[in-house]
């Protein structure tokens, strides 16, 4: 996997997908994950590599503004990410219980914010 770090944005690429992100002194902010096929381990591999990159750079957090859908939330929660805000946790739990896999729920901000603290 290849990581390209630019002044304003960065990308992690592999043959079948990629992950767009930005970084500052302490945090990586993920913009999007894209894969040519779903449920083939591509997204998980990209996120695992991003976490390794965060450790190498001695960054403290990865923050992800997640689309409020069961599919997206399930993926990030499975990868060990946690809700930043209690209000998002309440909404996220409701989405995971009630929504079909790809339905997107309206939220005040349009996203649910998740974070993973990186162990350095």
What pTM did the predictor assign? 0.88
Each residue's pLDDT tens digit, 61-79:
999 999 888 999 999 999 9
Q: Which domains does the chain have, with CATH numbers?
A: 2-117 (3.40.630.30)
Model pLDDT, residue 84 = 96
Of the chain, the end-to-end C-alpha distance in Å amounts to: 22
Rounded CA-CA distance 36/13 in Å is 12
Rounded CA-CA distance 95/111 in Å is 12
Going through the chain in order, the beta strands assigned E by DSSP cover 2-5, 10-14, 17-23, 27-35, 61-66, 82-83, 112-117
3-state secondary structure at position 44: helix
Mean pLDDT of the region 89-97: 91
């Amino acid at each position: 996997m290849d990581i390209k770090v630019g002044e304003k944005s960065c990308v992690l690429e592999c043959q079948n997908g990629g992950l767009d992100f930005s970084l500052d002194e302490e945090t990586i902010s993920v913009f999007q994950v894209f894969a040519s096929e779903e449920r083939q381990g591509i997204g998980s591999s990209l996120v695992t590599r991003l976490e390794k990159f965060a450790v190498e750079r001695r960054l403290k957090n990865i923050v992800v503004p997640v689309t409020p859908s069961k599919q997206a939330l399930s993926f990030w929660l499975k990868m060990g990410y946690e809700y930043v805000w209690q209000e998002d946790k309440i909404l996220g739990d409701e989405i995971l219980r009630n929504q079909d896999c790809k339905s997107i729920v309206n939220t005040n901000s349009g996203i649910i914010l998740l974070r993973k603290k990186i162990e350095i």
